[in-house]
Amino acid sequence: MKVALIGATGLVGSTMLRLLEERNFPITELLPVASERSLGKMVSFKGKQFPVMLAADAIAQKPELALFSAGGGPSLELAPLFAGVGCYVIDNSSAWRMDPTKKLVVPEVNGDALHKEDLIIANPNCSTIQMVVVLKPLHEKYNIKRVVVSTYQSVTGTGQKAVDELLQQRSGEKVTSVYPHPIDFNLIPQIDVFQDNGYTKEEMKMVLETCKIMGDDNIKVTATCVRVPVMGGHSESVNIEFNNDFDLADVNNILNNAPGIIVTDNPAQKEYPMPLYATNKDEVFVGRIRRDESQANTLNCWIVADNLRKGAATNAIQIAELLLQKGWIG
């Protein structure tokens, strides 16, 4: 099976390469694609070196699958060209997420929404992915009315330049080229650009994507997204109001048995999810599970996941594994 990886030299692209190898995805030929400035570079996969190529050269080879992690512009331009040669495209940008003709997929939540003719498939926003993995099984039992989420998002979500800037600031350099303010010893309550309603684009992604993935426009979501000087994963404080009352023991049982979730919730032993321990893991971790004592039928929890893995690369590859399972590729 020929697989193209668009954005092969970026943070998410290199994570996808590692995961394809780790999960033994059945690739017979890798086609690493990047921009012209990356031509001449080599990409390592399963002990072999593959030269970076341009998208046109990869399209000419008619791959069965293309994994995109190159930003919205290239995705809008190139995804239809790959799909045009019968290739399944799994896109990690925001380009196709809210397109009503495209599926927005988290396999544990709505993998059954995919049809064979869905050649361009959108991978959701990192913060949305980890939240809906937890929301879905609870929604099925108790019916969610409203979600209030505050995020604490790693600099890795911005890319390698942001990681470098944090480390430079930590070593005493006065650089602020990536974020509008220093990120070291600071929190920045702005992720992406502000919209007319006062929310950032990242916050509105969480609002809109959650309803689309869950298949329920009645769920009300409000979000505040914050960049923190952390590497390794995104964390979220989530307040969930249900239409029906719940039992805490049942909530724990539901989450313990839900796919893709690890419950880490032992306050007596100071055990709770943290990005430090979610790094390089594919699961979504949930803890600090407790009743909101200020309001009926409402639950508080704390959700953490590696944003480069489950928040991006792992979810995309899980979608590809779903296509393989259905016999549509391979």
Tell me which residues are annotated as active site: 126, 234
Let me know: does 196 contact 205? Beta carbons within 8 Å.
no
Instruction: Please tell me the distance from the alpha carbon of residue 261 to that of residue 130, in angstroms, as a whole number.
Output: 9
Write down the residue that tokens 């993995």 correspond to.
133
Reported as half-sphere exposure (CB side, CA atoms, 13 A), residue 63 has a value of: 27
Instruction: Please tell me the distance from the alpha carbon of residue 104 to that of residue 207, in angstroms, as a whole number.
Output: 14
Tokens of 116: 């064979």
**φ, ψ of residue 154 in degrees (nearest 5):** -65, 150
